[in-house]
Chains A and B, each alone.
Chain A
């Protein structure tokens, strides 16, 4: 006997023990004289007799229908549950009826007589094939309903716990179970002064461990394997149920396709939600136009928001510079349908991109999460717990949500609010839950009991009416205000880990007609649609897809890097044969015309001093993807987004690559706008420009070529009189500034003189005169007066013009100075 069972007996009043002994006809104590000895409480002996496995099983087999259901439900939920919660579940699931209408999963749907099994129905805890309607292929497609804010679409019905009545069916059944010792009240249940075996109390009901074991043994003997065999699951998918999976994948494709068709992406507002125009585009693509006016922000259309966030999580969309852009999706859509569905499901289940707490019907959260705030880890944990409960439900049958939620409380009472965060009764207040929020009604606070059905229950509703429906796992009953759901057959496949060898339905063929129309027959693979989108115009997409090849669409594809041969190959592969001859010819001709003049803006190039380096990088499979074409032995294209990787690669090879941004301004020498740059040459005294680096900036080199000539002896550039005079449009001042800025140590002074002489920098006055001494230095007024003096004036010679400068030269150096000035290019007159 389990110690906990003995403990239960110790807390039972003596009169109830006596009643138990009598009711169970325990052989040792059947003599009335022994009743007195019970007061001495020989509990171990009573316990041994009471919890004897054989005896327990016999008693269980003799139970009535309702008692059996209650006992089995308690056993299934772990042997403990609150009596009123249990009563609520049994009432809402209509499990207290007996006879023909017993155990009806949903009140509004009559069970099919052929689906009743008397053996199994005796054990509701096993969820037999009773009640509800077998799955029928009538799943509504995601349309207006799916775009509706689903939290509003599923208002919780008013919660009414059944009033306990001593003669009620449930209470009477409890009474019998208590009387037979199959059930006990928890220690904290207040029944002092009242009958222990009365079933009306609000307290915890406990099933002893021995009774649990016995009940399970009885169950095992009655119920055969009820699970769906893997082979039948596989068959289910192979049939038309693939349609449900396709619906999600088609929506994902359409969303992705819309984003990829918008070159600048879908714009976001500051809250990171889609802007209104972008949202309109999405609704036009994915939803009925009627929703355009109703959905004002992305948060109003949770289905659309879910799709976008899921696509982003899948890596098919990404955000850059305030816009949503499309990433390559070929690899994802080329995966088998089931694999794609599983990835979507797993991402929702295990990650935080979606937060169901944003969509609790009728509950206000303060301050609450933003529409894009990630889910708390407890939400993800709660999601897994609810999924476990949902997957326990019988596939294909309708389950009412109030009953499902009431039952979930028996199994996962601490959903969303683990006990470590605060007192259970205060879990909806800030500081007593992991979220730091207040959960309340619009006009008042939530009570401990009703709160479960609105908050935790609302969470379950949000899961079912949101992601699980969108992912194609469940169907909601549209006609009953969505208050019932059923698991779709493929849910077991999507949620399971087992790898089934399922043969997917073959995709439809592509028919290419000579009039350039193309028809992709059903079922159309999204992978094919993505390929066709790249070079053809989609004209229609329903069960079949219709495309048209045009010169513009092919040119656009070529612009994106495709070739006509590649297009032809894709079409032949999808069509399973060769193309009409005129289509082939047109493809080639359109490509030839398109490639006549090609322009690549915003390219990145690498120029090196040694062709061997590029040879090596192009030969290595690891580094080859960094590059595009090799334009010349020393020049190659770099893939734009690989610049940082290439810099790092060269750095690892002990290179420090110079980085040059192509200058915005052209005609640097004409305009005089010199971009900041490190010096590239050293200007020598003879006009030769010695490069500072093996590879000089080719833009600056191109400018330099305009004022220099090629020097064959050195292979460098040289400034000569003719090279300067070759470009009369370039001001000398700009040439000097260019050389000062891009030559290390600037322009040597001696060369500057020559440069100015060649460029006419001295106002074309390149003559220097040697003035013979002596000369007079005097003021202008004195000179004026003495020139007028009749005696002195006659002795003076011509005055030196005032615009000229005079400089003293020692007589012994004159010859050398004249020689040097002539060498510089001046004409010196003696």
Chain B
């Protein structure tokens, strides 16, 4: 039971927790039923549209809702969970109480206090030279998992450990969102420091990661760009006089080669077509 593994007395973001459960055991509710070609029962969103527990959005509609109900209903009534709800009553976060420790793990208050006093252990993370991170899915790693999921690509579960990969895409997206790398690097430094001396591959992987992050912004890729080129400057002047091109130019590369705003490209084509001057529109192949 994954809920029993969640840390006590700690506020947990419900969406993140749900994703955690989805990753580890998406079919916890329907179990083997999904393996059958003709299951005995299933959940439908509407008539003839069965929900697929392996699809995140479908899973949220059935299993995710069940989890929320469990926390907001029985566990809350028994005093096993504290809740943080949005204005419209949606579950935002929850905190398991001592009662949950007792009900779910059979821990007495004294035992729970002793466990709390021991403090969280250093999270057991392994990092390969290729930037793959492997984390034990245990309650004390829960905040770390949340942190890593902000920067890394999910790679599934391998040998009971959550697997992630730091890729240019995932790191670039994190930076694009305005995420700050310091907590991640700090965590990885702590892991490297805590690991044995012979584990130098982790140290070198971390060093490489830091260099890459330091080099962020030295190269920039632009997608979905609209490029306009004309035969000569005379044609460009003509376009300037007869169309709205000047307003659409985002960047001039050469006098005859410019970057247009996205809508600007479409508008220019329309204007030229109206004037009977169909531009050569290149395909995206």
Contact = CB atoms under 8 A, between A and B. Distances in A.
A178 to B, nearest CB: 52
A545 B186 CA distance: 70
In terms of DSSP, what is the predominant structure of the interface of chain B?
A: mixed
A205 to B, nearest CB: 43
B168 interface: yes
Contacts of A598: 228-230, 279-280, 282
A269 interface: no
Interface in A599-616: 599-610, 613
B262 interface: yes
A545 B213 CA distance: 59
B90 interface: no
Interface stretch (B57-65, B76-84, B92-100, B263-271): B263-271
Contact of B176 (A595, A599, A659): A659
Given A558-B280, A654-B211, A604 B263 contact: no
A693 B253 contact: no
B217 A650 contact: no
Q: Please classify how large the interface on chain B is, using the bins under 10, 10 to 19, 20 to 34, 35 or more.
A: 35 or more
A644 B169 CA distance: 9
A600 B218 contact: no
Among B171, B175, B251, B263, which residue has the most Cβ atoms of chain A within 10 A? B251
Contacts of A631: 227, 253-254, 257
Among B177, B224, B226, B253, which residue has the most Cβ atoms of chain A within 10 A? B224
B219 A655 contact: yes
A606 B229 CA distance: 18
Interface in B220-272: 220-231, 235, 239, 247-248, 250-251, 253-254, 257, 259, 261-265, 268-269, 272
B279 A693 contact: no
B114 interface: no
A657 B175 CA distance: 11
B168 A656 contact: yes
Contacts of B279: 596-599
B212 A655 contact: yes
Interface in A551-609: 555, 558-561, 592, 594-609
Contact of B215 (A367, A656, A676): A656
A709 to B, nearest CB: 18
A217 interface: no
Given A595-B280, A676-B176, A661 B224 contact: yes
Nearest to A632: B253
Contacts of A665: 263
Nearest to B173: A659
Nearest to A640: B284
Contacts of B171: 656
A660 B220 contact: yes
B213 A656 contact: yes
Nearest to A560: B283
A631 B255 CA distance: 12
Among B178, B219, B253, which residue has the most Cβ atoms of chain A within 10 A? B219
B167 interface: yes
Given A632-B254, A679-B178, A694-B218, A656 B172 contact: yes
B208 interface: yes
Contacts of B213: 656
Given A559-B282, A632-B253, A692 B217 contact: yes
B219 A599 contact: no
B159 interface: no
A41 interface: no
A658 B216 CA distance: 7
Contacts of A596: 230-231, 235, 277, 279-280
Interface of A: 367, 555, 558-561, 592, 594-610, 613, 631-632, 635, 637-638, 640, 643-644, 646-648, 650-651, 654-667, 676-679, 692-699, 701-702
12 contacts: A555-B280, A597-B228, A598-B279, A605-B225, A606-B220, A631-B253, A640-B285, A654-B212, A657-B220, A666-B250, A666-B261, A694-B218
